[in-house]
Structure 1
């Protein structure tokens, strides 16, 4: 019983010493504010969401809306969910980093089973010791701080991927809207070409126009049908590309709802570029530098040798007596003071500074190119909408009227028709390009353009 009490008291003292090792040396780092406010839409990050819960799923009908496409991608994009679980991994590693080293139990029995006075068990000595490593360099809290910054970096990686997914879905939806409109327009062109062919065929039968006009109308109709099939294939490809963002191999929707946005006044570049720090690719570098500094602090702490305090009880059988044992051990840092790893982490910190600067410069460069494309496409859409399209439509209507009155021949009608539909095609392309440019600029500044004043 005395032996048990001695071991128990010694163990409690050793554990208390271990728990009090470093709590007063460093204030614990504050908790990350990234998680709960940003990751609500990810099942991987929201433990309250049941994977079988229908409320956490978006049902796709025959007509897909833009908001449903965004929600579907946020909830079910495989790559995004992978980044969500990575945040959970880093949270678990942070928990592990905060744990104390385990105490070590050591039991020995000596001076028995030998010869002479050590024959048998009469001279045996039993020693029981309990040891606890004390981290003099505050390693545990520094490991916890490093793991906390790594969790925040994983959060920034998730945020970057989320923005990439949202931007990708936006562009894919715009491209699908463009393909849908081009397909619809091509159907209109086939109808116009069919009506014109029927009209010319009737006039050929009546002997009013030569057979050659009917042949040319037939060629134009066949060409329009070929373009219609091509437009349908492009629409199918665009549907598949959009559905792939939430992991569907076969699109479940048949059409898209909505219209491509018309250009609004574009804010000045000087004002737009002030938001570039909200780009997660740029904003993450503040945390990246904190992570490198935390890693350097930990390596410097490892250069301070830790001590192991031990205590126990020793019992000598031949004397019928026992005694307490207390010990302290520590490595002597004569050769290895972790100087190589410390220097390497200092270099890594300097390298991170240059990488941050390079990222910032590249982002400004990319933003300038995207902004110029935004301004150019907005100008083109405006000119096409206000001047070119109305003129082409008027010319086509006049050519049709003149043809029916015998003032123009078929070739003039055909030329006006081609001009109108090619202009409409270009207008749809320019409108889609403008909307894609908006999405790209908003990705680079991490802010909707609608929130930036144009004045």
Structure 2
């Protein structure tokens, strides 16, 4: 029995030695990733996304929705963003699994039983108990743990990319809803003006000052602008629903939006924006991506090194009443499979990654140039509308409206001036919305607020 206890002690030491051999020190290179745990691991939005039962962090929507509430609501409750939050946690769990040692194996055998002659019965039985442990000579566990760590960082980059996509989508949807709200309000003002003009002309018709045809034309115009008002209301309702969908609501709980559309006094040069392309998560993630692929190659090379299994145990010889220790080692012979296929595949993925990284930079650069062109065009249009078109249309409408009361102009001239003014205002709101949507897209592409970049 003493031999059995000694054998168990030796086996325990062998298992411990196997663990130490697998835990040899490896100097891991510092990550070039700019997105670490401090950015997404402790994110309130991420914590909320992986713990939906926690109701401490909620955003209550009032009748008038503010931009900040819309952003907060989407970050906390966007279903797609929540799925990326769970993906981060899943990768963290995989890293935990990769850090575990392989389990020891316990084996028990009984020989020389149930036979014939001297081996009949149990008198000549031999009992063997073995405990085996695989030794990871290639430090597979540490390399697998390092690879899992990079996979976790990449999941963080995926979350950050989706977070910016959600923020950009909410921003653009809010801009579109605000545009639709302003167009609807303007259309209401146009209907009020058309009604006043119709009542004025009807009174003049009753007084015999103008032909009844003028009243008919005014009524037709009033019907048309009322139709446009209904269409504007429908567009606003669609924009509200689209905005509410970012936090999973089928029916928006708000009635209107707070805020106005505005533009900056000047624009930064394109060259200034291009310097920030490296902050785009689609580009910045490639530093971690390449480290992950290098780590994959290191792990595949380690798998090509045979991992021996050492074993030891206790054996009982029943026929002579003796006991003995049993030790052994098992080594796979790498005659055919040296993991050469997976090693080559890992190398090819590294070479592919270099091309993919360059393609990502090229795509972001193209998209940034396109968005900047739209930004410039809408900015120049706004400048011209503000400085020339709107003041001129407003002045002409007031002049013709005043002259109409004095009998200097007829109804058609008033109607033409009215249409010109409101068409110009409509275009101004559209240009403002296009400008702000372009700003949101550029900020997504450079990962930086446009207000932080010096203007020309």
* TM band (smaller chain): over 0.9
What does residue 15 of structure 2 align with?
A: 15
User: What is the rounded CA distance, in whole Å, between the counterparts of 2:30 and 2:134 in structure 1?
Assistant: 26
User: What is the rounded CA distance, in whole Å, between the counterparts of 2:51 and 2:246 in structure 1?
Assistant: 21
Q: Deviations over 1:175-207 (max 9, x none)?
A: 000000000000000000000000000001111
User: What is the rounded CA distance, in whole Å, between the counterparts of 2:80 and 2:16 in structure 1?
Assistant: 46
Report the 3-state secondary structure (helix = DSSP H, G, I; strand = E; otherwise coil) of the residue aligned with 1:371. Answer: helix
User: What is the rounded CA distance, in whole Å, between the counterparts of 2:43 and 2:252 in structure 1?
Assistant: 22
What does residue 218 of structure 2 align with?
A: 217
Q: CA deviation at 1:418?
A: 0.3
Q: CA deviation at 1:28?
A: 5.4
Aligned residues: 454
C-alpha change, 1:372 and 1:47, in structure 2 (3 Å) is: closer
C-alpha change, 1:46 and 1:416, in structure 2 (3 Å) is: closer
Contact 2:49 2:81 in 1 (8 A): no
Contact 2:173 2:243 in 1 (8 A): yes
Q: Deviations over 1:117-147 (max 9, x none)?
A: 2122221111111000001111000100111
What does residue 51 of structure 1 align with?
A: 53
Q: CA deviation at 1:48?
A: 9.6
Q: Is 1:292 the counterpart of 2:290 in the alignment?
A: no
Spell out the pairing of 1:119-268 with structure 2 (5 A cutoff).
119-268=120-269
What does residue 363 of structure 2 align with?
A: 362
User: What is the rounded CA distance, in whole Å, between the counterparts of 1:325 and 1:111 in structure 2?
Assistant: 17
User: What is the rounded CA distance, in whole Å, between the counterparts of 1:447 and 1:39 in structure 2?
Assistant: 21
Q: CA deviation at 1:29?
A: 6.7
Q: CA deviation at 1:27?
A: 3.1
What does residue 114 of structure 1 align with?
A: 115
Q: CA deviation at 1:38?
A: 2.9
Q: CA deviation at 1:3?
A: 5.3
Q: CA deviation at 1:273?
A: 0.3
Q: Deviations over 1:332-387 (max 9, x none)?
A: 11111111111111111111111111111111011001011111111111211122
Contact 2:128 2:316 in 1 (8 A): yes
Q: CA deviation at 1:61?
A: 0.6
Q: Deviations over 1:226-267 (max 9, x none)?
A: 000000000000000000000000000000000112233111
User: What is the rounded CA distance, in whole Å, between the counterparts of 1:47 and 1:2 in structure 2?
Assistant: 57
User: What is the rounded CA distance, in whole Å, between the counterparts of 2:43 and 2:71 in structure 1?
Assistant: 11
Report the 3-state secondary structure (helix = DSSP H, G, I; strand = E; otherwise coil) of the residue aligned with 1:20. Answer: helix
Report the 3-state secondary structure (helix = DSSP H, G, I; strand = E; otherwise coil) of the residue aligned with 2:267. Answer: coil
C-alpha change, 1:392 and 1:252, in structure 2 (3 Å) is: same
Q: CA deviation at 1:23?
A: 2.3
User: What is the rounded CA distance, in whole Å, between the counterparts of 1:186 and 1:43 in structure 2?
Assistant: 39
C-alpha change, 1:404 and 1:395, in structure 2 (3 Å) is: same
Query: If the length of structure 1 is used for normalisation, what is the TM-score?
Result: 0.97
What does residue 39 of structure 2 align with?
A: 37
What does residue 347 of structure 1 align with?
A: 348
Report the 3-state secondary structure (helix = DSSP H, G, I; strand = E; otherwise coil) of the residue aligned with 1:56. Answer: coil
User: What is the rounded CA distance, in whole Å, between the counterparts of 2:285 and 2:398 in structure 1?
Assistant: 57
Spell out the pairing of 1:37-116 with structure 2 (5 A cutoff).
37-38=39-40, 40-42=42-44, 44-45=46-47, 51-53=53-55, 55-116=56-117
Query: If the length of structure 2 is used for normalisation, what is the TM-score?
Result: 0.96
- Unmatched 5+ stretches in structure 1: none
Q: Deviations over 1:200-230 (max 9, x none)?
A: 0000111111111111101110000000000
User: What is the rounded CA distance, in whole Å, between the counterparts of 2:65 and 2:447 in structure 1?
Assistant: 26
Report the 3-state secondary structure (helix = DSSP H, G, I; strand = E; otherwise coil) of the residue aligned with 2:22. Answer: coil
Q: CA deviation at 1:4?
A: 4.4
Report the 3-state secondary structure (helix = DSSP H, G, I; strand = E; otherwise coil) of the residue aligned with 1:21. Answer: helix
- Unmatched 5+ stretches in structure 2: none
What does residue 434 of structure 2 align with?
A: 433
User: What is the rounded CA distance, in whole Å, between the counterparts of 2:282 and 2:332 in structure 1?
Assistant: 43
Report the 3-state secondary structure (helix = DSSP H, G, I; strand = E; otherwise coil) of the residue aligned with 1:92. Answer: helix
Q: Deviations over 1:388-431 (max 9, x none)?
A: 11110110000110000111111111110000000000000000
Contact 2:150 2:288 in 1 (8 A): yes
C-alpha change, 1:237 and 1:43, in structure 2 (3 Å) is: same
Contact 1:167 1:439 in 2 (8 A): yes
Spell out the pairing of 1:364-383 with structure 2 (5 A cutoff).
364-383=365-384
Contact 2:137 2:306 in 1 (8 A): yes
Contact 2:305 2:338 in 1 (8 A): yes
